[in-house]
Amino acid sequence: MTAAGPVPVEFRATTKRYGRVEAMRALDLHIPEGRFVVLLGPSGSGKSTLVRCLAGVERIDDGELHLGNEVVADRRRHLPPERRNLGMVFQDYALWPHLTVAENVAYALRRHRPGRTEVARRVGEMLERVGLVHHHGRYPHEMSGGEQQRVALARALVASPGLLIFDEPLSNLDADLRERLRVEIATLSRDSGATVVYITHDQSEAFALADQIGVLDQGRLVQYAPPEEVYHRPATPFVARFTGLAAELPGRVVGAEADGSSVEVDVDGGRILVRRVEVLKVGDRVTVAVRPAAVRMTAVTGASVLAHAGVSNGSGRAPAIDSGHPGGLNGTVADVAYRGRGYDHVVACCGQLLTGCFDAVRHERGSAVSVNLDPDGCVAYSSTVAN
């Protein structure tokens, strides 16, 4: 049995409706062969619909779906899942309860009709790779969730498919197991060379795994880019929010960098430098999306406490503490939580609460801090953009 090699995937204006609901709206998505793509979105954004159509479990209503050189679905055509050369791993494992571990894995080879010895060899090799070789005679109900998901992974990989699909495979597992299995999925999938489509609602999982992230919102693909770009240049406020923010600060543009990549924004309490993803001009009202990692805090002590409180500057307005450069703002710690490697703080600043502000040292509740925002982790959007 020979592996067919990884396949590129292409959705062309693909639409899927359930009654009046357009669960997938004219989706255009090209995934080059061998790429690991994570589709990220909140519940109801159309992730499952997309992968069910890709797997062939659902029919599409409009557009086309290509796997390699073949049109596997359009308005008339529908190639069934077993003819799409793919392996799938589901959230609920979906193992056959009446089959042993080895039989479950071997089931994926049935279409290829290899000899018994070949089946035993391949199943044994796969179980070895997922660390379950000694469990081959067990039934699914005799295993933990993590072990069952490893069996599902072995079953998806054993026939060396050109496309691997993961439908929230870690959602039912505990945190530490999730992390370990995530690494195994990444390693085994990449070793297999297959194209991977992985869906999740968990942004940290998406950032950790993906070559490319596709963000879905109400059946539409709103951004498709490498993780670094999604993080630093989220295409819309929705993408920014869904991929983790400390806060959204209202403000007004007061200056622009010569190279056009950043603007200076007057927020309640000071001025900050931020990236822009759209054309903005001086005077525009904006919302600044702040990533938690952009927040740097320093304790305010002694004389600077007075300055912090706006006592000695005589201007009638609280100054920025590190006023030599934009970004030094007055803050007060509202909450602190120990996280092992350090502390997560909630800081009242600019009339908002900044959440998830990490520091290796603890700043007590009620203490004054100076807040600097790294421009690389701040993005300004015109306030007229609703989402």
Q: Please give the size of the binding site for ligand ADP, defined by CB under 6 A.
A: 11
Burial class for 345, CB neighbours closer than 10 Å (0-12, 13-18, 19+): buried
CB of 16 to ligand ADP, least distance (A): 8
Strand, helix or coil for residue 273: strand
Phi–psi pair at 117, nearest 5 degrees: -65, -40
CB of 21 to ligand ADP, least distance (A): 5
> Is the CB of 48 or the CB of 367 nearer to ligand ADP?
48
Q: Quick one: how many helices (H) and strands (E) in the chain?
A: 9, 20
Q: Does 23 bind ligand ADP (CB under 6 A)?
A: yes
Window contacting ligand ADP (CB under 6 A); options: 47-55, 76-84, 128-136, 227-235: 47-55
Q: Does 21 bind ligand ADP (CB under 6 A)?
A: yes
| Alpha-carbon span 268 to 259, nearest angstrom | 26
Structure tokens at 147: 């072990």
Closest CA to 352 of 386, 329, 318, 321: 329
Binders of ligand ADP in range 52-71 (CB under 6 A): none
Contact with ligand ADP (CB under 6 A) among 14, 15, 49, 192: 49
| Alpha-carbon span 331 to 365, nearest angstrom | 11
Contact with ligand ADP (CB under 6 A) among 1, 3, 13, 18: 18
CB of 169 to ligand ADP, least distance (A): 14
Q: Does 25 bind ligand ADP (CB under 6 A)?
A: no
> Is the CB of 13 or the CB of 303 nearer to ligand ADP?
13
Contact with ligand ADP (CB under 6 A) among 45, 148, 192, 370: 45
What are the residues whose beta carbons fall under 8 Å from the beta carbon of 337, sequence distance 6 or more?
343, 344, 345
> Is the CB of 49 or the CB of 100 nearer to ligand ADP?
49
Q: Does 44 bind ligand ADP (CB under 6 A)?
A: yes
Phi–psi pair at 204, nearest 5 degrees: -70, -35
The DSSP letter of residue 142 is G
CB of 125 to ligand ADP, least distance (A): 33
Tokens 């603890």 belong to 362
| Alpha-carbon span 265 to 192, nearest angstrom | 48
Q: Does 43 bind ligand ADP (CB under 6 A)?
A: yes
| Alpha-carbon span 213 to 198, nearest angstrom | 10
Binders of ligand ADP in range 256-295 (CB under 6 A): none
Window contacting ligand ADP (CB under 6 A); options: 36-44, 170-178, 181-189, 249-257: 36-44
Strand, helix or coil for residue 265: strand
CB of 17 to ligand ADP, least distance (A): 9
CB of 238 to ligand ADP, least distance (A): 14
| Alpha-carbon span 311 to 22, nearest angstrom | 58
CB of 219 to ligand ADP, least distance (A): 7
- Measured at the CA of 186, the angle between CA 181 and CA 192, to 5 degrees, comes to 120
Q: Does 91 bind ligand ADP (CB under 6 A)?
A: no
Q: How far is CA 372 from CA 133, 288, 308, 369, in A?
A: 53, 14, 14, 10
Window contacting ligand ADP (CB under 6 A); options: 39-47, 122-130, 180-188, 359-367: 39-47
Window contacting ligand ADP (CB under 6 A); options: 38-46, 206-214, 274-282, 356-364: 38-46
> Is the CB of 43 or the CB of 69 nearer to ligand ADP?
43
What are the residues whose beta carbons fall under 8 Å from the beta carbon of 123, sequence distance 6 or more?
102, 105, 106, 109, 136, 154, 158
> Is the CB of 209 or the CB of 253 nearer to ligand ADP?
209
Window contacting ligand ADP (CB under 6 A); options: 42-50, 108-116, 332-340, 359-367: 42-50
What residues make contact with ligand ADP under the rule CB under 6 A? 18, 21, 23, 41, 43-49
